[in-house]
Amino acid sequence: MTDPIRVLLVDDQDLIRVGFRLVLEAEPDMLVIGEAGDGDEAIRRATELRPDIVLMDIRMPGLDGIAATEAIVASLPDTRVLVLTTFDLDEYAFGAIRAGASGFLLKDAQRHELTSSVRAVHRGDAALSPRVTRRLLEHLGPRLPAADDGSGRTASLTERERDVFRAIARGLTNSEIAHELHLSESTVKTHVGRVLMKLEARDRIHAVILAHRYGMS
């Protein structure tokens, strides 16, 4: 039996945390290991508990979710942050993505959307639809440095890995990439892992941003 996905809940509203806890703890592969009501507490609890996933509210009194996300991602590279927002394509959510979040989720998401997003981020997928990925690039594009892969990272990619990299940049999931490139999902997963390793990308969201930066999106 595999270990459960360990989740830290961060929201300044008690009832929202209770609701998320009830949903997540009803899943056999998830465990809520702690809660926090603001950004400072989130950083302390994440450092103490080292969760797999942090469900992070953005707008909180005191230290907000963007600053907390940046601090957690910087100090805990194995912890993924899934940010919670009230409005689709919220400026604050994009700020959290820039800070290192692995995706974002609407607070009124359906039960299956919440659990599937947690699982997706945990396995290294991005909790973003292709539509949101496109908007993300439109939003971040003017803020990114000019395309310049002076490190030679993309040069080390094989042709197949380049195909997978471009597909990641379009926001496709592993199953969608497998269908498009006529590969098995296990083969795609291997290619994705190699792409992230060669690019020194933290996760798929980071890879999407790099693809845009390198002119491959």
Q: What 3-state class would DSSP assign to 34?
A: strand
Task: Give the pLDDT score at 48.
Answer: 97
The full set of domains in the chain, from first to last, is 5-127 (3.40.50.2300), 141-213 (1.10.10.10)
Mean pLDDT within 114-132:
76
Query: What are the percentages of helix, strand and coil residues in the chain, rounded to 5?
Result: 55, 15, 35
What is the rounded CA–CA span in Å between residue 12 and residue 216?
39
Claim: this prediction has a pTM higher than 0.75: no
Mean pLDDT of the chain: 83
Q: Scanning the structure block, which residue is given the tokens 């996933």? A: 53
Task: Give the pLDDT score at 148.
Answer: 47
- Enumerate the β-bridge partners of residue 55: 9, 82
Q: How confident is the model at residue 160 (pLDDT cuts 50, 70, 90)?
A: very high
Q: Are 65 and 39 in contact (CB under 8 A)?
A: yes
What does the pLDDT look like over 58-86, one tens digit per residue? 888 889 899 999 999 999 988 999 988 77
What does the pLDDT look like over 18-37, one tens digit per residue? 999 999 999 999 999 999 99
Task: Give the pLDDT score at 84.
Answer: 84
- The four Cα atoms 198, 200, 206, 210 give a dihedral, to 10 degrees, of -60
Q: Are 37 and 60 in contact (CB under 8 A)?
A: yes
Choice between 174 and 148, residue whose per-residue pLDDT is larger: 174
Percent of the chain at pLDDT > 90 equals 41
User: DSSP for 103-115?
Assistant: EEEETT--HHHHH
Task: Give the pLDDT score at 147.
Answer: 47
- The four Cα atoms 95, 99, 100, 106 give a dihedral, to 10 degrees, of -30
Q: What order do you get walking across the sheet with 5-10 strand by strand?
A: 30-36, 5-10, 53-57, 80-85, 103-106
